[in-house]
Amino acid sequence: MNKCKSFEPSINSNSKILILGSMPGIKSLEEQQYYAHPQNRFWNVMGHICHEPLMPQFNYSEKLITLLNNNIALWDTIKSCKRIGSLDTNIKNENPNDIKNLLKNYPNIKTIILNGSKSFTAFKKYFPDLSEKYPCYKMPSTSPANARYNLDRLIKEWELIYSFL
């Protein structure tokens, strides 16, 4: 079982939406980049949301800047855990990130988007008071493991973000 640790948040003072994943997968941890697995649809979905169709081909820093320019922050619900492989179902001994402090330091965040079931359940478990203070939306996971959603269906669901930008 491998020890996994999430990254620092990508956020600035203009961020209005906080997207929370669960824990980066193996490829992301190796690359030290959010959503680095080539089959994860996150960057394709965000390219559509941010009206930047070439976003998946951008370098990593350009992707983060594009999100920030569109008032979207990125982080994970889980700070550390033990896990075999990349599946959220294999997460054990999880510890949450300090999301309360992050929101205190970035008061422009008004909406929280949870990327997938594990992010949602961990958020509800560790931060039940925040889900009463902030509008929180569980979105279908962009992970390739979520085969029930093709890219078009994911984009349609994630377009909810438009109403918060």
CATH number for the domain spanning 120: value is: 3.40.470.10
pTM, whole model, 2 decimals? Answer: 0.94
Of residues 12, 14, 40, 105, which has the active-site annotation?
40
pLDDT tens per residue across span 26-39? 899 889 999 999 99
Domain range spanning residue 78?
Answer: 2-164
Binned at pLDDT 50, 70 and 90, residue 145 comes out as confident
40 is catalytic: yes
Determine the pLDDT at residue 54: 80
Overall number of domains in the chain:
1
Separation CA 13–CA 83 (nearest Å): 33
Determine the pLDDT at residue 89: 73
**CA angle (126, 143, 25) in 5-degree steps:** 70
| Better-predicted residue by pLDDT, 40 or 1 | 40
pLDDT tens per residue across span 82-120? 888 776 777 889 999 999 999 999 999 999 999 999 999
Mention every residue, 6+ apart, whose C-beta is less than 8 A from residue 90: 83, 84
